[in-house]
Amino acid sequence: MDRDEPLLIEMSKPGLAPVRVPEPDVPFRGASAWIPERLLRRTPPALPEVAEIDLARHYTRLSQKNFSVDTHFYPLGSCTMKYNPKLNEDFIRAPMIRRVHPYQDEASIQPLLRMLIETQEMLSALTGFPGISLQPAAGAHGELTCLMVFRAWHRAHGEEERTEILIPDSAHGTNPASVVTCGFRPVELRSNEHGLVDAAALREAVGPRTAGMMVTNPNTLGLFEREIVEIARILHDAGALLFMDGANFNAILGRARPHDFGVDAMHMNLHKTFAVPHGGGGPGAGPVGVSAELEPYLPVPVLVRDGDRVRLDHDRPLSIGRVRGFLGSTGAVLRSYCYLRMLGEEGVRRIADMAVLNANYLRATLGEILRVPHDGPCMHEFVATLEGLGNLPDRPALHAAKRLIDLGFHPPTTYFPLIVRECWMVEPTETESKETLDAFCEAVRRIAREAEENPERLTSAPTTTPVGRLDEVRACREPRLTWFDA
């Protein structure tokens, strides 16, 4: 691959280092006093020496080579790339947050603990679950945590033989991965012709080995599982539990509470729904909510109110134990705290309304250009197929997505969910204007025309980016992450 951007080490000139480390003003015997002689370096490390202005330009140029939600429309279905208010960033950089040390005792971090427990209480109000844990570090980790809680619950009830977890075929790949990681066995459930879980098929599939089911609602086609109450009843009657993948909670935020429609446990991705930067900007957080019955199994420590203080409760004999160090991804949680406090109850409801309105506007407009197999009102996202688009030789969803990049848009999620061929999964989020959505539709219209008249345009895209099509397999298998002096 050609590089037009030199590495810092290649720009380096001796003597240009912008930082001079001052001599220590306390007695210092040097590292050699503690480190064995044979481990000491003979020559100084080859650190790049670059003037400050060149350093600033280097990193600024690098940052401009990529797409970001602050520069481009980013309709990445399921990943929820919404705008992250800058207020959140200012907030978590406040000295009272930034300077807290992980080993400080409870008494000295009461304001921090109070913000964390208030976040729990807000998440509890939005989901309906009395028990919340902020510990899990990401969505998949939240899934695993809930499954561990399920397993502990079944064991406590003498039901060790329950080892199977049902998963619809439209599920996110992390669902079966979490099931296997937890030591359960995933059992796939086929969606019906409407793209939904079929209650009759579910009734057939549950049995004495069923530990539970993972359902995504709205599902990855952007459809609300209309039979969710019946689905929960079938599982409960069979002695199994219902988990909801709530990574993308946008569509029903403040409008429906998963515990009310029969869910026993769910996870939320703060880095999707609750405005925490992700996709390289992490870390995120995947808090979980559980019913009163499952609460004793939550990870320790549990934050509890104790008069007007907040305490870390470690005394939970049934707990599955810790799943994360210290208090979890505090920086992510506090961004969401700031976001929720800023919006208030009314603002949170508006998120759901606008996310659904924007998705339906795009679905209706793009539906004139592409086919939407499961048509009809959607929630926060929808899935279109590009099968048979224009005169492309193969993989139309891929080529059209690459061409979108040339036209200034981040592509939607492609080839997911697996049950729709040549698909795009489009999620505009609530923060986009009608003008942006219209411009996106115009770009897709142009691509559809080019696919007919000039398919080369698509198969050779992108041409406006620093790099074109990457060999993703090779990048995975043979990553070159270390610089060697040639």
Q: Indicate the residue among 113 and 268 with the shorter CB distance to ligand PLP.
A: 268
Interface segment toward ligand PLP; rule CB under 6 A; list 25-33, 88-96, 136-144, 326-334: 136-144
Using rule CB under 6 A, residue 348 touches ligand PLP: no
Question: How far is residue 150's CA from residue 144's CA, in Å, rounded to a whole number?
Answer: 10
Using rule CB under 6 A, residue 165 touches ligand PLP: no
Residue with the shortest CB distance to ligand PLP: 139
Using rule CB under 6 A, residue 178 touches ligand PLP: no
Per-residue DSSP letter, 108 = G
CA distances to 197, 267, 416 from 168, in Å: 7, 17, 14
Query: Looking at this protein, which amino acid is placed at residue 173?
Result: G
CB 106 within 8 A of CB 311: yes
Using rule CB under 6 A, residue 138 touches ligand PLP: yes
* H-helix or E-strand spanning residue 164: strand 164-168
Q: Indicate the residue among 310 and 423 with the shorter CB distance to ligand PLP.
A: 423
Least Å distance between CB 71 and ligand PLP? 22
**Half-sphere exposure of 151 toward its Cβ, with a 13 Å CA cutoff?**
18
- For the CA atoms of 80, 82, 86, 90, the dihedral, rounded to the nearest 10 degrees, stands at -20
C-alpha R_g of the chain? 25
Tell me which residues in 212-251 interact with ligand PLP (CB under 6 A). Answer: 216, 245, 247-248
The single residue among 82, 151, 162, 172 that binds ligand PLP, judged by CB under 6 A, is 172
Least Å distance between CB 195 and ligand PLP? 15
Interface segment toward ligand PLP; rule CB under 6 A; list 98-106, 125-133, 138-146, 235-243: 138-146
Other beta carbons within 10 Å of 9: 13
The single residue among 69, 88, 133, 139 that binds ligand PLP, judged by CB under 6 A, is 139
Least Å distance between CB 221 and ligand PLP? 11
Instruction: Give the pair of three-digit tokens for residue 380.
Output: 């926060």
Other beta carbons within 10 Å of 327: 18
Question: How far is residue 124's CA from residue 305's CA, in Å, rounded to a whole number?
Answer: 14
The single residue among 120, 217, 269, 273 that binds ligand PLP, judged by CB under 6 A, is 269
Least Å distance between CB 8 and ligand PLP? 30
The single residue among 174, 330, 336, 414 that binds ligand PLP, judged by CB under 6 A, is 174
Question: How far is residue 411's CA from residue 76's CA, in Å, rounded to a whole number?
Answer: 7
Tell me which residues in 279-298 interact with ligand PLP (CB under 6 A). Answer: 284, 286
Q: Indicate the residue among 216 and 330 with the shorter CB distance to ligand PLP.
A: 216
Instruction: Give the pair of three-digit tokens for residue 136.
Output: 């899990």
CB 291 within 8 A of CB 131: yes
The single residue among 122, 140, 356, 384 that binds ligand PLP, judged by CB under 6 A, is 140
* H-helix or E-strand spanning residue 282: none
For the chain, the straight-line distance linking the first and the last C-alpha, in angstroms and rounded, comes to 16
Instruction: Give the pair of three-digit tokens for residue 71.
Output: 């520069």
Q: Indicate the residue among 420 and 443 with the shorter CB distance to ligand PLP.
A: 420
Using rule CB under 6 A, residue 358 touches ligand PLP: no
Q: What is the DSSP string of 213-234?
A: EEEESS-TTS---TTHHHHHHH
Q: Indicate the residue among 78 and 291 with the shorter CB distance to ligand PLP.
A: 78
Q: Indicate the residue among 269 and 429 with the shorter CB distance to ligand PLP.
A: 269
Interface segment toward ligand PLP; rule CB under 6 A; list 42-50, 61-69, 133-141, 433-441: 133-141
Rounded to the nearest 5°, which phi and psi values hold at 458?
-80, -45
β-pair partners for 132: 289
Q: Indicate the residue among 382 and 399 with the shorter CB distance to ligand PLP.
A: 382
Residues in binding contact with ligand PLP, number by CB under 6 A = 14
Q: Which residues lie near ligand PLP (CB under 6 A)? A: 78-79, 138-140, 172, 174, 216, 245, 247-248, 269, 284, 286
